[in-house]
Amino acid sequence: MLSFEVLTEADLFLLIELEQVIFGAEAWSESMLMDELTLPDRLYIGAYQGEDLLGYAGVRLGWDTDLMTVGVLPLQRGRGVGRALVKELLRRVASVRFAPDHSIFIQDPLAPEVDFVSPGHIARPVRRVERVILEVRESNLAAINLYSSLGFETEGHIKKYYRHPVEDALVMIMELTKSAPVS
């Protein structure tokens, strides 16, 4: 049974090891990973089986949220870990709200929905994530099929987006305002 935990800077060195195993020459640097784990508009989660971290995924939060990365250990691929990670991340992203002061908060699923906040007793609307955007290697058919099965649609193409080897990317988008939450 998988469990999911938010990753923090305390997980940095474990994440560096995973990044090297999963992405090799394309692995992000220590400073890039530290930024991803500590910036206030980032959300990274890990998929654990017991104490073992099997993979992770992260987003840059905004009205248009960017799915920054999904990585699963090679021996765990094809076992549903990536699907479970993306579904859990999308579930959490659907709970994110943006207050008028640009602060980000998570809507408690057991609490009444918050549609307005009242700084200075003036009701202001709370905004939600409207869509999730990602880029994926054109040759990564497993990932493309996964994202498509979860409701992402191909919206564009970026030439020579990736290095090592040079490859084009597909841009895929999920409209959260039009989609039912991922279950």
- pLDDT of 163 > 90? The answer is no
Whole-structure pTM value: 0.86
Residue 180 confidence (pLDDT) above 50 = no
CATH class in words for 3-108+125-175:
alpha beta
Tally of CB atoms within 10 A around 98: 18
**pLDDT tens-digit readout, 80-124:** 999 999 999 999 998 888 876 667 767 666 566 666 555 565 666
Is the pLDDT confidence value at 155 over 50?
yes
What is the pLDDT, as a whole number, of residue 116? 59
Q: What is the pLDDT of residue 104?
A: 73
Closest CA to 42 of 93, 107, 108: 93
Query: Residue 98's pLDDT is what?
Result: 80
